[in-house]
Amino acid sequence: MLRNTATNWGSVAKALHWSMAVLILAQLVLGVLAVGWRMSPTKLDLFVWHKSLGMLLLVAVLLRITWRWVNPTPALPPELPAWERAAARIGHALLYVLMLVLPLTGWLLNSAAAIPLRVFWLVPLPPLIAPDEALGDTLARVHDAAALLLVVLLVLHVAAALRHHWVRRNVVLSRMLPGRHA
């Protein structure tokens, strides 16, 4: 089934979750590599990959938010204490915010730095704002801080999923796995 139900994630939601999970991990690695690499053609290519993947992730998260909006969200197990429900709600909301903030600040800082970009060497990306080196530096710091926060949240997200599975022994993790139903 493509759509979510009150108890299960549909295949579209799972595909978006796992493909974005892989792309976000690749994106974090690419970002760190691109920034740290010495100035060379490889560095410029790493940046094109990072920025291209970022734009792909921006499209993906917009699709994901839309899909979540028009589908039921499978309920958390009823026995969960209130603080865990609150933590889950806040954590997921922050993940969505960061999935938007990271590509958008990336696009903005690339615009401020006046660097032309063809996404995957194909699609020209228009600048969002006029060149401004100081603003670009500020945006870069915001982008880096957001990435660091994302890493922290992802660690918590994975830890929470494993805790649901191994400690609480509920369906929260298994119902997100491909091909499984709760």
Site for another protein, rule CB under 8 A: 39-41, 44-45, 48, 113-118, 121-122, 124, 131, 133
What is the closest distance, in whole angstroms, from the C-beta atom of residue 105 to another protein in the complex? 17
Residue with tokens 């579209």: 12
| Cα–Cα distance for residue pair 173/160, rounded to 1 Å | 9
CB 165 within 8 A of CB 176: no
Is 97 or 115 the residue whose CB approaches another protein more closely?
A: 115
| Cα–Cα distance for residue pair 47/127, rounded to 1 Å | 16
What is the closest distance, in whole angstroms, from the C-beta atom of residue 41 to another protein in the complex? 4
The CA-CA-CA angle for residues 121, 144, 29, to 5°, reads 55
Is 41 or 78 the residue whose CB approaches another protein more closely?
A: 41
What is the closest distance, in whole angstroms, from the C-beta atom of residue 113 to another protein in the complex? 6
SS3 assignment, position 123? strand
What is the closest distance, in whole angstroms, from the C-beta atom of residue 143 to another protein in the complex? 15
Is 41 or 81 the residue whose CB approaches another protein more closely?
A: 41
Is the Cα dihedral 182, 16, 92, 148 positive or negative? positive
Q: How far is the first Cα of the chain from the last one, in angstroms, to the nearest whole number?
A: 13
Tokens found for residue 174 = 């298994």
Is 32 or 113 the residue whose CB approaches another protein more closely?
A: 113
CB 13 within 8 A of CB 7: no
Q: What residue spans of 113-163 are helical by DSSP H?
A: 133-162
What is the closest distance, in whole angstroms, from the C-beta atom of residue 121 to another protein in the complex? 5
Is 20 or 117 the residue whose CB approaches another protein more closely?
A: 117
What is the closest distance, in whole angstroms, from the C-beta atom of residue 48 to another protein in the complex? 5
Is 54 or 74 the residue whose CB approaches another protein more closely?
A: 54
